Amino acid sequence: MSNNLPLFIDGEFVESASNESLPVTNPATQEVLCDVPYATTQEIERAVASAAVAFETWRDVPISERARLMLKFQELLKGHQDDLAKTLSLETGKTFADAQGDVWRGIEVVEHAANIASLMMGETVGNVARGIDTYSYTQPLGVCAGITPFNFPAMIPLWMFPLAIATGNTFVLKPSEQDPMTPNQLAELFVEAGAPKGVLQILHGGATQVDALLTHPGIKAISFVGSVPVARHVYRTATEHLKRVQALAGAKNHMVIMPDANKNQTINSLLGASCGAAGQRCMAISVAVFVGGAAAWIPELRDAMADVHPGPWDSPDAAYGPQITPAARDRVLGFIETGKQEGATCLLDGSDCAVDGYPDGNWVGPTLFSNVTPDMHIYQEEIFGPVLITSEVDSLDEAIAMINANAYGNGTSIFTSSGAAARRFQHEIEVGQVGINVPIPVPLPFFSFTGWKQSFLGDQHVYGKQGVRFYTETKTVTARWFDDDATGGPNMTIRVQ
C-alpha cells in the first residue's frame, strides 16, 4: 500500500500519479511519517482548471455565506486544535505548546476572515456632479496561489487561503514538502466546514511545482513566505508573468536593551524570542543590542540560556525542538563555527547538544556570542537556529543607526522604562514591525504583517486590510439617471456636468 500523502484536487483527496516523492521525517527520530509526492504537470493543470471553474460560481456566492463558511471553519479548527498540533509536532519537531500556538495564530486570521463583509465595503459619494453619483465595489481577482515554508505549516497557510477565499477567490496551495501533513489536515476540516468543491486545491512538490504556479497563465496572484533567495526568484518570475505578488523573506531582528529595562523580563524575553521554535522563525530575535550599563547583564543571560534545553515534542522539560532536517542543523553548526573563526566570543556553545533517548535528532543547543561586529557573517546572515549574538553600544543613537544600516526590516523591539526612549525608537527606526517591551511584535490580524526592506517584496502585505486589498480589485462606477423628458446637447469636454 502506498505511503504517499494525497493531493487535494477538485474537492477530493487523490493519489498522485507521480513517480517522484520525498520522505517526510520526524526531526527528533528520523522516522519516516509518509512520502510526499511531487505533483505532475497534468495534476497541476487539473487543479488550476478546477479552481478556475469554481471561481465562476464562488465569486457570486453572497458574502454573508462566505463569512459563515469561515465561522464554521474556525469552530472546527478550535475543536481540532490539539489534533492539528500533534500532527504538526511530529513533522516539525515543535513542542506541543508551540504547535498549539502555531495553530491558534492561524485561527485568529480565520476569525478575521469571518468579518469579510465589513472588510470589503466600498465607498460612495452622492452628487459628485449634478445628478451624478460615484461608488466603488471590491471584487475578487480569480485563482490565487500560496507557497508556504516549513516553519509554520498551520499558521502561514491560514494567513493565506481563508482570506483569499472569503474575498471571493479560489486558491491553490503549495505547502512545504518538509511538513505537508498539517496542511492536508486543514483541507479536511475546510471540507467538513462546507467548502464548495474546487475553491481550495493542494499540490505537493518542490521547485518545479513552484515554478509551474509562478508562470501559469491562469493564476492571478502569488503569496509566498520563505528565504531571501527564493523570495527574489518568486517575485521576479511571477511579476514577469504579470502576477500580483507578496513575498515575505528573511530577517535579522534586533532587540535593544536600555539600562532602565526590567532585567528579569528582558532576559526571559530574550530566551523565548531567540530559542523558541529552535530559532526557526522569521521574527526571532537574533541580535541583542545592549546599551550602556545593560551590558552587565550578559553573564546572567548566558547562565539563563544554559538552563534551556531542547527535546522531543511531548517532553514537558523541552523548551524547543530540533532543527527541521539534518541539513538545517549542519547549516546552523556551520554558522557557529564561522563565528568562532571570525573572532566572536562564544559564551555558550550548543554544537555538541545531545538529548537522551533521541540520538538521531537534529539537535542544536542554545548558543550565545558576544563581541560580534557588523562585518561578521553571523551578523549579516539569517542563521535560523537557537543562536543569539550580542552587541554593545554606548547610546540609543548608536543602536538605532546599527539597526537602520541592516539590510532587513522585519521586526525589532526595545526594552525600556522610558516613554521618551520608546517613542523616539519607534519613530526613527526603519523596520516595519516594532515592539515596545514586546520581543516578537507579530500583529493580530486586524493589522497587517508589515516587514520592510529586504524582508518583503511587493506592495500589499499579508492579512489585515492590506491582505484584503491584495486579493481584490476595486471597480469604480460613475452613474447618472435621466428623466424620460430630459433634454440637452452633447458634452464635448472631459468635464462631468
Active-site amino acid positions: 282
Q: How far is 359 from 38, CA to CA, in rounded Å?
A: 30
Alpha carbon 190 to its chain's center: 20
Report helix, strand or coil for 454: coil
Helices 181-192 and 81-92, axial angle in degrees (round to 10): 160
Longest dimension (CA), the chain: 91
What string of H, E and C letters represents the secondary structure of 324-383?
A: CCHHHHHHHHHHHHHHHHCCCEEEECCCCCCCCCCCCCCCCCCEEEECCCCCCHHHHCCC
Residue 241 has a CB neighbour count (10 Å cut-off) of 14
Q: How far is 414 from 425, CA to CA, in rounded Å?
A: 8
The answer to whether 253 and 283 have CB atoms below 8 angstroms apart is yes
Q: How far is 115 from 99, CA to CA, in rounded Å?
A: 26
Q: Which helix (H) or strand (E) holds 137?
A: strand 132-140
Rg of the chain taking only CA atoms, in angstroms: 25
Residue type, 200: L
Residue the block writes with cell 465595489 = 137
Query: In degrees to the nearest 10, what's the CA dihedral of 89, 94, 100, 102?
Result: -110
Residue 64 has a CB neighbour count (10 Å cut-off) of 9
Residues in the chain, total:
497
State the DSSP code for 320: B
Residue 84 has a CB neighbour count (10 Å cut-off) of 24
∠ CA 442-185-463 to the nearest 5 degrees?
30
Alpha carbon 60 to its chain's center: 29
Q: How far is 176 from 204, CA to CA, in rounded Å?
A: 8
Coarse DSSP helix, strand, coil percentages of the chain, rounded to the nearest 5 percent? 40, 25, 40
Alpha carbon 195 to its chain's center: 23
- Name 51's bridge partners: none
The answer to whether 68 and 196 have CB atoms below 8 angstroms apart is no
